[in-house]
Amino acid sequence: MIFLSKIAGFDIDGCIITTKSGKVFPTAPDDWRILFPEIQPKLASLLKKGFKVVFFTNQLGIARGKLRPEVFKSKVEDILQTLKLPVQVFVAAGPGIYRKPVIGMWEHLREKANDGVTVDKSQSFYVGDAAGRPVNWAPGKKKKDFSCSDRLFALNLGLKFSTPEEFFLGWKAAPYNMPSFNPRELDSKARLYDPPDASLTSIRQEVIVAVGFPGAGKSTFFHTHVIPKGYVYVNRDTLGSWQNCVSACERGLREGRSVVVDNTNPDVESRKRYVDVSRKAGVPCRCFNFTASLEQSKHNNRVAVLQRRMGKNLSL
């Protein structure tokens, strides 16, 4: 294996190979062919120019028990034998930090699989077919891409990105759609809450009811800004049912303490339970509406799952 600073990265399925059967998914281990005749000479040219050619592929079927590792390994060996070129291959066999668009495979290459040679991202690039292209993105190309994970993989790494058609065939750049939420567009200096002169906590006894998607940041917000002020924390994930939450809220108020209800509370019915409790106790009730969109909340949940698996904080 050669170890170089310039990396030419490629997806495998839909980029280097396609099915002989014409099916979306292979029907047998040998149901594959090289996608374009231009691929082998193009890869050979990259090697002559001082690039290391690396394949990065997601193979969730391995973790799901639908694809035996030894079968896929044999398939990759057959592909490389057909190409007759030295290629390093990384396989994400399940969900988690190695599955594109998360950058775990690249980080493993950079840290442990390039013999100490520093990777130069400014001279490297990545090619893949999961590019977010819409229906009818080119003549004769009626199906939309199944995702944009390859484009996002390159974006997360700061690499130049191309589709297989653009890179191997010289096609012009195709239109594409990105996820509606882009964490890079968030304003880190934006106000934490509106109106800016509002008080997060009160010296008077009260009930605070949260509204927001799972992953909108409710728990982090309350544990950072409200719970340290002595509020009773009520949460359905820990208490198990809304009935238990209502009981905990009533108990906290009887003890003379303020209460924060950290649930999604998406409808009038769920919120009314705590409004009624506060009215019965003669204390005011405020609603904290967390405005993170559904897509941002999904992103936050994915990051949280990865953080738990890695045991460290991520910024994605």
Q: What pLDDT is recorded for position 197?
A: 86
Distance CA(200)–CA(208), nearest Å, equals 10
Mean pLDDT within 71-76: 97
Q: Which CATH class is domain 189-316?
A: alpha beta
CATH 3.40.50.300 range(s) for the chain read 189-316
Stretch(es) of the chain classified as CATH 3.40.50.1000: 6-169
Residue 315: pLDDT band (50, 70, 90) is: low
Cβ-Cβ contacts under 8 Å for 236 (sequence gap 6 or more) = 242, 244, 245, 263
Q: In 3D, which of 65, 73, 93, 79 has the Cα closest to residue 18?
A: 79
What does 15-77 look like in DSSP terms, one character per residue?
Answer: TTEE-SS--SS-SSTT--EES-TTHHHHHHHHHHTTEEEEEEEE-HHHHTTSS-HHHHHHHHH
pLDDT tens per residue, range 177-210: 999 888 888 888 888 888 888 899 999 999 999 9
Residue 184 burial class via C-beta count within 10 angstroms: exposed 0-12, middle 13-18, buried 19 and up = exposed
Spatial distance between the Cα atoms of 169 and 138, rounded to a whole number of angstroms: 13
Assigned CATH for 6-169: 3.40.50.1000
pTM of this structure: 0.81
Model confidence at 310: pLDDT above 80: no
pLDDT of residue 189: 83
Q: What is the DSSP letter of 131?
A: S
